[in-house]
A and B are shown apart, each in its own frame.
Chain A
Amino acid sequence: MTETLTTLTSPIVLRVNVPNHVPSQRPGETRGFAKLVIVREIKEEDFGATLKSREGINARIPRTDVNYASYLRLAERSSERQHPIGVLFDETATTCKLVRADNDVPTQLLDEESGGARVLFEGHDGVFRIRPDDPQSAHLRALLGEAIKQHLRVWFIVRKPDLALLDVLPAEGMREFQISFVVAPEHLVRIADEVLRARIRCSKALLREIRAVAKAFIDEADELRRGLREIQSSASIAQITSLSPAEMIEKAKRLRTLELPNKELQEKVRKVASSYLSVAEENQRLFQEFQEKYRRVLPTTS
């Protein structure tokens, strides 16, 4: 059944009065990527050095690397000061580069026709960029937008010479969370819509149940997608309800083995009900995972 699910993840920026920060974790990336991390431990061995970060990212720097000495110096600074550095992994995630992280208060985020953006800071004279093809564009925009609104300092790493931002991390007063959830795939939403509009020969009570589940299936998928769009468009506050009501879950369970005179319609109802349950169970699991992960840092009112 999970083959019919589409997993969507998106970072959410919440304001929490806790001074430490949570790193921007984006698991599942398979392309090269850049991250800001704080080095916790440096272990020098025969082959080179292994760096362990507070964020759980490990990097191995071989002594044969021409930049070994400067990478080690950067890592030591990060460890001593507990300030971030940038770790850049290649596509295979086997080799990495370390780059210095800078900090400043962003002042302006200006959209460009290309789809990218220009970023100005209070202190830096240069014009920084968000590349139009950067898969993390929405993430960077959301973080910088929030920092501009709240007048907060951020840490950042750039590519030279065009000053393209590779990663951004709040330095103060703002915390970054990642929440994951799943939504029903479009083709099943269309089937649910067909079920909702179909003339089904069955008892009125059963018909109400079928339509309730089909409608909830469509509405919940729509609501999750709307929430995702809201966050991606840099909303400072977004609310997402990813949990399905218990009574609807019970109805969907009953419909999985439903018998109807029209076998084609029967299969459609069963598919929708099964998918509804899969989405509900997976989102319940992801929600618990989120709570567990951020248990110590979430505001007590949430």
Chain B
Amino acid sequence: MTAPGSPPAIDADQAVAIFAEFAAEGDLALRFPADGCYARTHLMVQRLINKGLAPTKVWAFAASATDLLWVANTDHPDGRVQWGYHVAPVLEVREPDGAVRELVFDPILFGGPVILEEWRDALHDTPTLVQTALGQAPIPERGGSGYWPGPDPIEGPDVHARETLEDYGRPGT
């Protein structure tokens, strides 16, 4: 997955530290999982780029609108949240044994970086996984810059991501 000239894989300790930073950040609205993974991923990816890293994104699409992805969540009135798709950043991480693996950074679902299969299995369905480079649309026929699976929001991805999470971080309407 590493392109020529791209940064080398980070080591496992660094991956854990980066994940801890994300989990502690107040502006990712982690207590509102009902929506907004596209915005969280956008911000996390920007922060990884700022660290000189080269993240990609992994997308999990539900099989159909009647067979959605879901995770248990006690904060939600239904006791679970459902998603049409889910997305999170991915980084190449060098394990202590020297092997390089792609790990998913998803503080909504996990307490640390996990391998793709573990991330997919947590979504309680048999989703279709799509991995994209930055700027690449996960469903090309819908267009967009890869912020989410469709044309970009009117205000642009940066503003939309920031304002969405600002909104989701506030108490309910």
Residues of A within 8 A of B (CB): 70, 81, 83, 88, 97, 99-100, 102-105, 108, 110, 118, 120-127, 153, 158-163, 166, 171
Contacts and interface: CB of A to CB of B under 8 A. Distances in A.
Of residues B32, B81, B87, B173, which shows the largest number of chain A Cβ atoms within 10 Å of its Cβ?
B173
A81 B149 CA distance: 24
A56 to B, nearest CB: 23
A126 B146 CA distance: 17
Interface residues on B, range: 35 or more
B149 A123 contact: yes
B140 interface: no
Interface stretch (B3-11, B43-51, B90-98, B151-159): B151-159
B84 A171 contact: no
A163 B35 contact: yes
B87 A125 contact: yes
Interface in B134-171: 142, 144, 147-151, 153-155, 163-164, 166-168, 170
Contact of B84 (A100, A120, A153, A162): A120
Contacts of A158: 173
B43 to A, nearest CB: 15
Nearest to B151: A105
Of residues A110, A122, A126, A166, which shows the largest number of chain B Cβ atoms within 10 Å of its Cβ?
A126
A104 B153 contact: yes
A123 B146 CA distance: 10
A162 B75 CA distance: 10
B85 A97 contact: no
Contact of A125 (B66, B76, B85, B155): B85
A135 B90 CA distance: 44
14 contacts: A88-B173, A100-B163, A102-B164, A104-B150, A104-B153, A122-B148, A125-B35, A126-B35, A126-B36, A127-B84, A153-B151, A153-B154, A159-B172, A159-B173
